[in-house]
Structure 1
Amino acid sequence: MVRIKHRYLLVDILYPSGNPHSSRTRTADIPAHVAIHAPTPNHLTPALLAKLIREEIAVNFGDWGVGRLGTGGLGVKYFSPATSTAIIRCPRAAFRIVWAALSYMDRIPSSSSSAGGPGTDAGTPCVFRVLRVSGTMRKAEEEAIRRARREILRTRKIMADRDGGVADALNLGREDPADDCHAAAADFAVEDDDDIMDDAED
C-alpha cells in the first residue's frame, strides 16, 4: 500500500500595524513586539483560511497549481486566533506552492466581505510567515510550543524592564513561567493518529 506523504507548515500571522481589533494604531504603552503578535479577528476560521490559500494559489499558479494540491490535499489542521498560529497540511510535492501563496497573501478580508457582503473594507493588513516545514504534525506542534515559550519569556522580560507592576500583572498569580507553556501545549489537539506517524524526511 502506498502512503500519501504530507508536509505540515507552521504559520505565524503578524500585524505590522498593530491590533486588528482596534482602529487605533500602535500606542506607546504597548511594546512593538507585543503589537505585531496581536490576536487574529474571530471571523477568520480554519475553513476560510484554507479557502483563501486555495484562491491565492489559483490566482498565482492557475489550474496547474490547484491540480498539484489534489483532492482534499490542503487543510488547516490547527488554528488559534489568540496566538495567530496555524498548522497547514498539504501534499509533500506541493508545499513550496502553498508556501509561495502564503508569502503573496497580505491581508485578511473583513467580516462583511468574507461573508459575501458588500463590505467596503479591504481587510486587515498582515504578513503570513512560515516558521517551519515538517513531515509530521508532532514536530510542527513541538516547534509551536517552543516558540510560544520563548515569546512568553521575551514579553515578560520586556515588560519587566519597562515597569515591574505590569510584569507582575502578566504573571496572573503564577509562580512558575512553565505553567504558561503547559497551557499553550494543552491548546494543541491531534485529530487522529495518522497525523503523527513518522514520514521519511527526504
Structure 2
Amino acid sequence: MVRFKNRWILVEFIPIVHGDSQLGKQSTSSPPLDGKTIWAALKQSVLTNFGDTGWGAVGLSLTVKYFSPTTNLCIIRVARDQHKIAWGALTLLTSVEGEKCIPNVIHISGTIKHAQLAAIAHNREIIARYRALAKTSVFDDGYETFLENSSREIDALQD
C-alpha cells in the first residue's frame, strides 16, 4: 500500500490597500476572502501560467484546508510531486476576486503538524503587529480570544 504524500504551503495574502485604511484591512466594498475564492484564483493562476497540463497535474490534489480572514493566513495542501507548480502559481498570483494582493509564502512542510506550528507562530506575530499599530494594551483588545480560537481551529485540522 502506497501513502499519498503531500506538501503543506502556509501563505499569507497581504492586501494592497489604497488610501489610509488602518491595519491593512480589506475595503468594505469587496466581499471578504474565503477558501473557495482563493482556490478559484489559484486554479486560474495555474491555468494561465502552466496551462491545462499544469492544472491536470495539480488539480486533483490542490485543496485549501484553512483560511483566516482576520490575518489572511492560508494553509494549502498539494501533492508532493507537484508542489512546485502550486508554489509558482501562488507566486505569480496578483489578485483574488479583483482585490490586489501579494501572496507571501511563509512555510512549506511535509506534514500538517509542522504547517500548524508555523501557522500558530505566524498568527502570534501578526497579532503583535496589529497591537503595535493600534497601540492598545493586551487586556483591552479581543486579539487574545482570536489567538485562542485560531490556535484551536488550526490544531483541529486533519490530513
When normalised by structure 1's length, the TM-score is: 0.67
Amino acid at match of 1:124: E
SS at match of 1:47: helix
Compared with structure 1, are the counterparts of its residues 157 and 65 closer, same or farther at alpha carbon in structure 2 (3 Å cutoff)?
A: same
Q: Deviations over 1:81-133 (max 9, x none)?
A: 12211100001111111111111111122xxxxxxxxxxxxx21111111100
Instruction: Determine the structure 2 residue equivalent to 1:172.
Output: 140
Task: Say if 1:191 and 1:179 are closer, same or farther in 2 by CA, change over 3 A.
Answer: closer
* Match of residue 94, structure 2, among 90, 106, 116: 106
Q: Is the partner of 2:154 in helix, strand or coil?
A: coil
Query: Could you say which residue in structure 2 is the equivalent of 1:130?
Result: 105
**Between structures 1 and 2, the one with greater strand share:** 2
Report what 1:47 is aligned to: 36
Is residue 56 of structure 2 the alignment partner of residue 67 of structure 1?
yes
**Map of 2:148 onto structure 1:** 182
Aligned residues: 157
TM-score (norm 2): 0.83
**Deviation by residue 1:151-184 (Cα, 9 ceiling, x = unmatched):** 2234434544xxxxxx13x63268xx86654333
Give the letter aligned to residue 5 of structure 1: K
1:79 positional shift: 1.1
Contact 1:39 1:84 in 2 (8 A): no
Identify the residue that residue 83 of structure 1 maps to in structure 2.
Answer: 71
**Residues 147 and 69 of structure 1: CA distance in aligned 2, closer, same or farther (over 3 Å):** same
Q: What one-letter code is carried by the residue in structure 1 that aligns with 2:69?
A: P
- Aligned-residue CA RMSD (Å): 2.5
Shift of residue 191, structure 1, vs aligned partner: 4.4
Q: Which residue of structure 1 lines up, in the alignment, with residue 20 of structure 2?
A: 26
Structure 2 gap segments, 5+ residues each: none
Shift of 1:54: 1.5
Larger of the two Rg values belongs to structure: 1
**Percent of residue pairs bearing the same amino acid type:** 29
CA contact (8 A) 1:149 1:180 kept: no
Distance of 2:68 and 2:129 partners within structure 1: 20
Aligned position for 2:7: 7
Task: Give yes or no for contact 2:46–2:86 (8 Å, CA) kept in 1.
Answer: yes
| Higher RCO, 1 vs 2 (CA within 8 Å, ≥6 residues apart) | 2
- Looking at structure 2, the residues matched to 173 and 56 of structure 1 have their Cα atoms a distance apart, in angstroms, of 37
